[in-house]
Structures are given as C-alpha cells and as structure tokens.
Amino acid sequence: MKLSLSTNWCNRRIESGEEIADLALELGFDELELGFRTTDSQAEGFRKAAGRIPVGSIHAFCPVPASAPYGHPELYTLASFDDDARAIARHHVLRNIDFAADIGADTVVLHAGRVPFSSFFSRNLDSGALRKAIKAADGKVGDRKYSKLLAKAIKTRRARGARLLDVFRRELDAVVPALERRGVVLALENLPYLEGFPDEAEMAKLAEGMSGAPVKPWFDTGHHRVRHMHGWIEPDFVPDGAQGLHLNDVRDFDDDHLAPGEGNVDFAALAGLARSARHVVFEPGGHVEKDRLARSVAHIRSLWRD
C-alpha cells in the first residue's frame, strides 16, 4: 500500500518544497499531497522533486491564491446559495484541476462548503451549540436534552441541505468536463461539523445522479470520529468508492489531527477501505513531532499488513 504525506504537516515551518519532499522520503512515504498552505515557491520545489517522490493529490486551494492572505480549505465554497461566491469558487476549482494535472496529480480534494445555520431562529442549532451541549451532557449522545436539540438540528440541516443539493449539482456539471479532459478526480471530503456539505446521505445522492463522473467521496478518519461522537452519523458508516483517505486521529469530540494511533479512531476497522482507495494520506497537525509521525507510519504499516 502506498502512503502519502500531506505537506500541511510542515509547510509552515519549512520553506523549501524540495526539503519537504526529502523529509517525506526519509519518513518512508511514497507520495505527497500538496496541502492548502502550499506557496508558489514550494510548488516549484515539489515539481523539481517529482522524480524522487511524486505528487498524488492536492488539497484545494493550492497553491495559495495570490488574492488570499493565507491558505484555507474554505477560502471559496462551490456549495453556496450565493451566485457570486459560487462563480469565484468555480474559477479556483478549475485552476486547481489544471494545476493538479500539470504537476502529475490525479485528485483534487475539496471542502465543498457548509449549509448555513445563520438565522436568528437556528443559530442555537449549529455545530458550536451542539459541541457545548454534548460536553454539558458528559459526552452522552442519548442524554434527553441533547437528543432533543440534536433531532431539531438534524431536521433543519436536512431541509436546507436538500435545497443546496440541486444548486451544487449544477456546479459539478460545470466542472466535470474539465475533470474529464485533464484526467482528474474531484474528491469531496467529509467535514467535522454538522453544517458540512455534502453529508453522507447527500454524497450518496450525488453519486446516484452522476454515475461514472470523476466526482467521488474523500474520507477523513478524524472528521468521521468527530461526526460519530456527536451523533451526526452511524459509527460503522464507510463510503462507497472513496478516492482516498486522510489519516489523522482524535480524542473524540475535537478535530485534534493527532498522528494515527494516538487517539481513539479504530484504524484496524478501516484496513479494507484503505486498500480500495487510490490515496492514503497522513494528515497530522503541525504540532506532531517527527518521531511521533515516524512511529505512526510504522504502526499503520504493521496494522494493515496483508
């Protein structure tokens, strides 16, 4: 199984793309995922190092657009009710498709957007409110007060998500020709908040309506754990046909981005999904030291050994 390293792990502290590539090789990685903090200068270094370690995927928006003060995966949102916001996002997604193909990657990982919970009557139902409520309930999803709040939040989330689904389908229709022309897959990541779009059910509906199109799910292990612990998803859910995985670990309720094996994610249960995916990408936070990451790589290789 090929393992990849997200450059987001270290590209804030290492300026040279070639140096990052050499560090990934030293740690035993086979490929790179260029993260959304990648600068133009670092991208040139990764191009030079491609003969030693290829780029398998990029995480939008990469490199950081000149118009943006810093990198972020939701600088622009293709899933939005705002026409102008979608147009800007579409422009940058198309640029990322071209960049991925030009650097030899076959996948663009995307945070599509969020279903808004911004009205006066629903702001107490968003992820922030649910996080506070689950902690007040000592982490018990079955707590009566939390269950009542969660049911109301999910009902609102589903209604608004259904309206956004049709809007988003039209945006995908607009970018699919570029994906097909450049041989790139757009991979839609599961997100660690209730508002994250598309959710698991919405992703299944998109797949039904776009059979054969180069648009697939992307599975983040830590995000999935966060969603499960808040009761937003069944614990045994795994997506069909995931293009890739982000491997990171959490201690239940927060998006910790620990090294795999340092938290409570059941990585043994994900072996089959990992073997069927095109990309398996380690995505620890920048706070994870090199020796911890090295131990994590050894742990996962041992755990998933055939």
Provide the pLDDT for residue 266.
Answer: 95
Q: Is 51 within a domain?
A: yes
β-strands 279-282, 244-247 pairing: parallel
Q: Which domain holds residue 291?
A: 4-116+168-303
Q: Are 189 and 110 in contact (CB under 8 A)?
A: yes
CA–CA separation, 241 and 88 (whole Å) = 29
β-strands 196-197, 113-114 pairing: antiparallel
Structural domain total, the chain: 1
* Helix boundaries (H) for the chain: 17-26, 40-48, 83-103, 127-136, 144-182, 200-209, 221-229, 271-276, 290-303
Provide the pLDDT for residue 120.
Answer: 54
Neighbours of 201 (CB within 10 A): 14
CA–CA separation, 291 and 268 (whole Å) = 22
Provide the pLDDT for residue 252.
Answer: 85
Name the residue with tokens 């293009």: 243
Q: Are 30 and 78 in contact (CB under 8 A)?
A: no
Q: Is 150 within a domain?
A: no
Provide the pLDDT for residue 232.
Answer: 93
Q: Is 154 within a domain?
A: no
Provide the pLDDT for residue 4.
Answer: 98
Q: Is 124 within a domain?
A: no
**pLDDT tens digit at each of 306 positions of the chain:** 899 999 999 999 999 999 999 999 999 999 999 999 999 999 999 999 999 999 999 999 999 999 899 999 999 999 999 999 999 999 999 999 999 999 999 999 999 999 988 765 566 789 999 999 999 999 999 999 999 999 999 999 999 999 999 999 999 999 999 999 999 999 999 999 999 999 999 999 999 888 899 999 999 999 999 999 999 997 778 888 999 999 999 998 888 999 999 999 999 999 999 999 999 999 999 999 999 999 999 999 999 986
**What's the length of the chain?**
306
Q: Is 46 within a domain?
A: yes
- pLDDT single digits (tens) 240-257: 899 999 999 999 888 899
Q: Is 140 within a domain?
A: no
CATH classification at residue 188: 3.20.20.150
Q: Is 135 within a domain?
A: no
- pLDDT single digits (tens) 194-215: 999 999 999 999 998 888 999 9
CA distances from 236 to 57, 64, 158, 269 (A): 26, 35, 21, 9
Q: Is 125 within a domain?
A: no
CA distances from 256 to 123, 178, 225, 241, 288 (A): 24, 35, 11, 26, 10
